[in-house]
A and B are shown apart, each in its own frame.
Chain A
Amino acid sequence: MTGPMSGTTAVRVEGLSKRYRIGTQIDRDDSLIASAARQLAQPLRNFRQLRDLRRFDEGNEEANVIWALRDVSFKVAPGDVLGLVGRNGAGKSTLLKVLARITEPTEGRVDLRGRVASLLEVGTGFHPDLTGRENVFLNGTMLGMSRREVGARLDEIVAFAEIEKFVDTPVKRYSSGMYVRLAFSVAAHLDPDVLIADEVLAVGDAEFQRKCIGEMRSVAEGGRTVIFVSHNHALVRSLCTRAIWLEEGRLRAEGAVDDVMAAYAAALEGSGGGDVRHRTDRLGNGRVQVVESLVRAPGGDVLTTVPSGRPLELVVRYDGSDTSLGRLSASVTIETLLRERIATVSSVLSGDDLAGLPGTGELVCAIDALPLNDGDYMCTVKLEVDGVTADFIADTSRFHVDSSGFYDTRVYPGSAAGPLLLEHSWRLEG
């Protein structure tokens, strides 16, 4: 099992598991004395909790532990482009982070042959105050190149990104397109044996995306290996030779890309998953369609458990066949799993003008502080073009809310308190 790799394997993953500890249950008190005693003992408990973040005693209660990956094994041959698919929270990002050596597995083993470059985010380490040239060196050396290697490729990198004139300008003065082009360009010129990439192609304009995809293809055609995560089924089908489908941390299917994607698409039908591309139970004229909806921390990771009282972003990825969409308005209704409506956020209510949008893109609704109590919720998304419903789709994504941190008292409101949490105070009068 643990012998040397055969010459035809670029990546071998064996029995890989990764366990995370999630929020600890909160004890409740029934008396003032008990509450005071708990407050006094809080530092000790905090210390234990922080210390235990990475510690797992055998036979420990499984309640606070999730397996982001469970016994995953597969092999990738040199020259293969492996697509990694699965719903939000299926373990795709965790697998990439283990392969990229960012986080350590709990069990199992990975062998990677040759030079590995990982691209989990475009422009990691870019600093706004540094010039384009300086950022290329910083980012390039961060991704594992030497200064000399970066220097030798600098002209190519800058030319590929089409920013020749601005190479000595601080990147904070760049347009977001220039920024992304430069960042991708550095990664594209790494020349690794194994390239590990998270959905980084979802950035930049359509023309640059085509260029990036071409670059990825040429990496693979050069006999090197690419592993990448994407929610874009069409891209996975066109770019990848093989695919892996993860579900709840386990390997659900592995094989030729068309077989895996067909199985995955079939399983997504009518489910509550974030990717709704293959859903047919829609209303509207279809001028624009919801591709995916998800819930995430501001600008950050996709959340399946959302802390209440904290800022949150509802993201709707859409795809419109024609590029002139006219005036688009979007709304997301949050409902309980019993279809009780809790709240609706809409660009009409907020007065945000969504005119002149590109044909495909991502709409983000920022919520300052989510006032929901514990429970499971789902989103229903509606897109309108010029006041006419273009797409209406229920149960696009689900999320769980954890309300234990909503009140400063850390007192847990309990689900009997009702679905909404209000900031409030009490005083005596008269």
Chain B
Amino acid sequence: MSAWSSDVAHTSVTTIVARGERSLRSYGEEVWRYRDLLFFLVLRDIRVRYSQTVLGFGWSILQPLLQMVVFSVFFGALAGISSGDVPYPAFSLAAVVPWTYFLNAVSTSSLSLISNAQLVSKVYFPRILIPLAPIGAGLVDLAIAIGLLFVVVLAFGIVPPFPAVLLLPMLVVLLVLAASGISIWLAALGAQYRDVRFVTPFFLQTLLFVTPVIYVVSEVPERLRPFYSLNPLVGVVSGFRAAVLGQGSVPWGAMFASFLVSLVLATFGLAYFRRVERGFADIA
């Protein structure tokens, strides 16, 4: 006899009502109860991502590496965009690594409720796990890409500055928070309005240009900086350059702004998600 069926009189009662409001606490407890499912959804996404490819995880190296080459040739060499005191390839790779993670995580996550519509209409579990899984799964790629970043940077004769390099884990947390904050919105909106599928690529392309990936932050006029730093990736990317290349001082202000903006996006995104998730099965 299993533990939960031994005493019927004391087992919990699940109540289902129309427009049932639940406390954030009970919602959180439920998500926590399903934490193992998040683990396996992440595992599924990791396993499936490179299935039937020749290079497999090689792509997590090749993707940022090719992007670095393209940026270095077109923006660094041909357009002559300044990379400050660092060779352009290392300069761009330090930004391409977090950017690639963000791009893949947000692209996959924003469509996740649509691509998992079968699950949504057939089984109950906290829906928030669906957009979170691709964000978790991308971390494997990110870890490999960060390894690549160190190899390239060292090859250019740059030694990552100590102790700034220790900021990397914190920057990864900021990056994950930023990806989550935006993805939760896009996924929830995308379940109802399929326009999101078309808007997301354009949005991400625009975001690339308002993030210091191909240029240095100092190119941005001083008076626009406060607005510019509202883009949560500005703090992350500048932070990566400071931590790995030692370029510029640690951008505490931009990182703090990134944290606040992502937190606000994630909080309101979660509230919106919770409001609309009860209808996902009806509109999937």
The answer on a CB contact under 8 Å between B16 and A130 is no
- Is A106 among interface residues, defined by CB-CB distance under 8 A? yes
Q: A54-B282, A115-B11, A191-B2 are known contacts. Are A108 and B125 too (CB-CB below 8 A)?
A: no
- Is A114 among interface residues, defined by CB-CB distance under 8 A? yes
- The distance from the CB of A55 to the nearest CB of chain B, in whole angstroms, is 10
Of B13, B51, B193, B281, which contacts A111 at CB under 8 A? B13
Interface residues in B8-54 by Cβ distance below 8 A to A read: 8-9, 11-20, 33-34, 36-37, 39-41, 43-44, 47-48, 51-52
Of A103, A113, A224, which contacts B13 at CB under 8 A? A113
- The distance from the CB of B262 to the nearest CB of chain A, in whole angstroms, is 28
Interface size on B, residues (CB 8 A): 43
In the assembled complex, the Cα of A146 lies from the Cα of B11 at a distance in Å of 18
The answer on a CB contact under 8 Å between B192 and A101 is no
Of B5, B16, B36, B278, which contacts A141 at CB under 8 A? B36
Q: Which of chain B's residues has its CB closest to A115's CB? A: B4
Interface residues in A74-106 by Cβ distance below 8 A to B read: 78, 97-106
| Chain B proximity mask over A311-328: 1 for CB below 8 Å, otherwise 0 | 000000000000000000
Interface size on A, residues (CB 8 A): 54
A-B interface pairs (CB < 8 A), number: 142
| Chain A proximity mask over B110-132: 1 for CB below 8 Å, otherwise 0 | 00000000111111110000000
In the assembled complex, the Cα of A33 lies from the Cα of B134 at a distance in Å of 47
The answer on a CB contact under 8 Å between B278 and A104 is yes
Of B15, B43, B51, B282, which contacts A53 at CB under 8 A? B282
In the assembled complex, the Cα of A103 lies from the Cα of B283 at a distance in Å of 10
The answer on a CB contact under 8 Å between A105 and B4 is no
**Residues of A with C-beta under 8 A to B125:** 142, 144
| Chain A proximity mask over B247-284: 1 for CB below 8 Å, otherwise 0 | 00000000000000000000000000000001101110
| Chain B proximity mask over A1-32: 1 for CB below 8 Å, otherwise 0 | 00011010010000000001000000000000
The answer on a CB contact under 8 Å between A138 and B16 is no
**Residues of A with C-beta under 8 A to B37:** 138, 141-142
**Residues of B with C-beta under 8 A to A109:** 15-17
In the assembled complex, the Cα of A220 lies from the Cα of B33 at a distance in Å of 26
Chain A at the B interface: SS class: loop
The answer on a CB contact under 8 Å between B5 and A108 is no
The answer on a CB contact under 8 Å between B12 and A124 is no
Q: Which of chain B's residues has its CB closest to A129's CB? A: B51
| Chain B proximity mask over A165-202: 1 for CB below 8 Å, otherwise 0 | 00000000000000000000000000101000000000
The answer on a CB contact under 8 Å between A142 and B123 is yes
- Is A363 among interface residues, defined by CB-CB distance under 8 A? no
- The distance from the CB of B210 to the nearest CB of chain A, in whole angstroms, is 27
**Residues of A with C-beta under 8 A to B120:** 102
Q: Which of chain B's residues has its CB closest to A110's CB? A: B16
Of A51, A130, A193, which contacts B11 at CB under 8 A? A193
Most buried by A among B8, B39, B278, B281: B8
Of A108, A121, A130, which contacts B47 at CB under 8 A? A130
- Is A403 among interface residues, defined by CB-CB distance under 8 A? no
Of A118, A137, A193, which contacts B4 at CB under 8 A? A193
The answer on a CB contact under 8 Å between A113 and B283 is no
**Residues of A with C-beta under 8 A to B193:** 47, 50
Of A54, A97, A113, A120, which contacts B8 at CB under 8 A? A113
Most buried by A among B14, B121, B123, B192: B123
The answer on a CB contact under 8 Å between B43 and A134 is yes
**Residues of A with C-beta under 8 A to B36:** 137, 141, 145-147
In the assembled complex, the Cα of A164 lies from the Cα of B104 at a distance in Å of 37
Q: A53-B283, A54-B282 are in contact. List 8 more A-B contacts (CB 8 A).
A: A97-B281, A110-B16, A113-B11, A115-B5, A127-B48, A138-B41, A145-B36, A193-B4
Pull 6 A–B residue pairs with CB atoms less than 8 Å apart, ordered by A. Answer: A10-B8, A47-B193, A53-B279, A109-B17, A114-B4, A129-B52
Q: Shortest 10 CB-CB distances between A and B: which pairs?
A: A141-B37, A114-B11, A147-B36, A110-B16, A101-B124, A54-B279, A138-B40, A104-B278, A103-B281, A129-B51
Chain B residues with a Cβ under 8 A of chain A: 2, 4-5, 8-9, 11-20, 33-34, 36-37, 39-41, 43-44, 47-48, 51-52, 118-125, 192-193, 278-279, 281-283
